[in-house]
Amino acid sequence: MSLSKIGGVPLRLVPIIGRSAVLAPARPVSCLFRLHLQKRCQHNGPPRFQRKPQTPVPSTTPLQSPRPDAVYQTRPDASEQPLILDDLQLPHKVRYLRPAIWALVVSGGIFTGLAYLQARQELKPKKSHGWHEAPQWGAQRRGPPTPTELATQWWAQLNPISKLSSGIIATNTAIHLSSFVIPQYWNLLWHMPARNVNYSLFSSMFVHSGPMHLFFNMYFTYNFMIPVGYSRAFEGNPYHVLSFFLATGTLSGFAQHWATLITPQKRAIPEIFIRCGGASGALLGMMGVFCMQYPTAGLGIMFVPIHFDAQYVLPAIMLFDFIGMVRGYSFVNFGHAAHLSGTIIGIAYSYLDGKNKIWNPLVNFWRRRLQQRS
């Protein structure tokens, strides 16, 4: 998307590459399903489904020992019917209550912890810069500044929200680059409902399926976070913006997990075995706040000269994600549940005044507690 103007300052945006549901590289369906079942069967004993015995066929060639994966594959000349994944009995049931409780507790903990840091920072005594400070008599260095000095000067000139967006972009980029160094640990950050682990509801917002996915999401972060951070909903408070970003990403991750209960169409691989990741759930929450705070700002598609008011674009995006969540699309496979839930959270937080009803009371609570201790 493109943000045409906010207060006269032109900005360019692009569509978010959604919180993607990512499949593994192209392989036969039976091999993909076998990969997941083998890992689970190693922990839970032998699988409950076995291939029916076949009538031996005379052959002039000597017998060969079957391959381990022959159980899950069928040859074209086999007499039995092809293996149907829907008829298989899965070793475990996917949990939904525990992830819901975990997501709510972690989101509340994020707000509570960062509100504590905000209160502690407000109570710190500020350093005075009076005339009586000792002068620095060191010799002035001549020559061009070093890269470290340039980076320090650039960082010092940034406003708090720009520092936050730069930190988020750097974190996502570093995690994406780690996929080339430690791919086995990077894969664990993705959320797959069949794994029944909760931490990936949080960690999955920092992984992306490829360079384009990462680029569009980070470009969106760079352009949207500054106007949203300095809106009336956050008033330039980086702790508050970071709390909302992380909590929305966690809750939208659970929404995508929950959406496996309403799978829109049958696929070769069940939805519970498709891994999900991306920051777009949190970014759609930011866009929900943006559209509520700047309803007449122009939004459009990148490289397209036309644009529409944010108050009209937002319902169209929500309708697109709702249909994608309920019925699905044949041409895209986005995390529509994460997108829709993130947008709803952003709208609700802005409309219900989360700043004065959630954030400020938490900061005031911690400020009073810290003042009582001092």
Report pTM: 0.74
**Confidence tier at 77 by pLDDT (50, 70, 90):** very low
9/55: higher pLDDT? 55
DSSP result, 92-112: SPPP-HHHHHHHHHHHHHHHH
pLDDT of residue 316: 93
Longest dimension (CA), the chain: 102
* CA 109 to chain centroid: 18
**Confidence tier at 86 by pLDDT (50, 70, 90):** very low
| Mean pLDDT, residues 241-254 | 96
Query: Residue 4 pLDDT more than 50?
Result: no
| C-beta of residue 307 within 8 angstroms of C-beta of residue 4 | yes
For residues 196 and 148, give the distance between their C-alpha atoms in angstroms, rounded to a whole number: 44
Q: Per the domain annotation, does 353 fall within a domain?
A: yes
Query: Residue 330 pLDDT more than 50?
Result: yes
User: What's the one-letter identity of residue 63?
Assistant: L
Q: Per the domain annotation, does 337 fall within a domain?
A: yes
Here the tokens at position 275 are 């891994």
For residues 68 and 47, give the distance between their C-alpha atoms in angstroms, rounded to a whole number: 13
For residues 255 and 201, give the distance between their C-alpha atoms in angstroms, rounded to a whole number: 10
Q: Which percentage of the chain shows pLDDT scores above 70?
A: 70
Any residues with CB less than 8 A from the CB of 61 and at least 6 apart, and which? none
pLDDT of residue 19: 55
Q: Per the domain annotation, does 135 fall within a domain?
A: no
Q: Which percentage of the chain shows pLDDT scores above 90?
A: 51
| Mean pLDDT, residues 322-345 | 88
- Average pLDDT of the chain is 78
Q: Per the domain annotation, does 74 fall within a domain?
A: no
> 11-45: buried (b, 16+ CB within 10 Å) or exposed (e) per residue?
bebbebbbbbbbbeeeeeebebbbebbeeeeeeee
User: What's the one-letter identity of residue 87?
Assistant: D
For residues 176 and 191, give the distance between their C-alpha atoms in angstroms, rounded to a whole number: 15
| Residue 262, domain extent | 2-22+96-121+158-373
The total domain count for the chain is 1
For residues 287 and 157, give the distance between their C-alpha atoms in angstroms, rounded to a whole number: 26
| Mean pLDDT, residues 230-246 | 96
Q: Per the domain annotation, does 27 fall within a domain?
A: no
| Mean pLDDT, residues 241-262 | 94
pLDDT of residue 298: 87
For residues 258 and 242, give the distance between their C-alpha atoms in angstroms, rounded to a whole number: 24
CATH of the domain at 7: 1.20.1540.10
Query: Residue 306 pLDDT more than 80?
Result: yes
130/317: higher pLDDT? 317
| Mean pLDDT, residues 28-54 | 40
Q: Per the domain annotation, does 354 fall within a domain?
A: yes
Which of 65-74, 142-151, 274-283 has the least mean pLDDT?
Answer: 65-74
Packing angle, helices 336-351 and 280-293, rounded to 10: 40
Query: Residue 138 pLDDT more than 50?
Result: yes
pLDDT of residue 317: 93
User: What's the one-letter identity of residue 217?
Assistant: N
The DSSP element (H or E) to which 350 belongs, if any, is: helix 336-351
pLDDT in tens, 22-34: 544 433 333 333 3
Any residues with CB less than 8 A from the CB of 250 and at least 6 apart, and which? 103, 106, 107, 110, 201, 202, 205
Long-range CB pairs of 53-56 (<8 Å, 24+ gap) are 54/78, 54/79, 54/80, 55/79
Beta strand 2-3 pairing with 275-277: unpaired
Q: Which single residue is written with the structure tokens 């970003």?
A: 245
**Confidence tier at 221 by pLDDT (50, 70, 90):** very high
DSSP result, 269-314: S-GGGSEEE-SHHHHHHHHHHHHHH-TTSEEE-TT-S--EEHHHHH
pLDDT of residue 87: 40
For residues 285 and 116, give the distance between their C-alpha atoms in angstroms, rounded to a whole number: 23
Q: Per the domain annotation, does 132 fall within a domain?
A: no
Q: Which single residue is written with the structure tokens 């949203």?
A: 228
| C-beta of residue 312 within 8 angstroms of C-beta of residue 227 | no
Which of 92-101, 220-229, 280-289 has the least mean pLDDT?
Answer: 92-101
| Mean pLDDT, residues 101-129 | 90
374/171: higher pLDDT? 171
Q: Per the domain annotation, does 44 fall within a domain?
A: no
Here the tokens at position 40 are 């689970």
153/14: higher pLDDT? 153
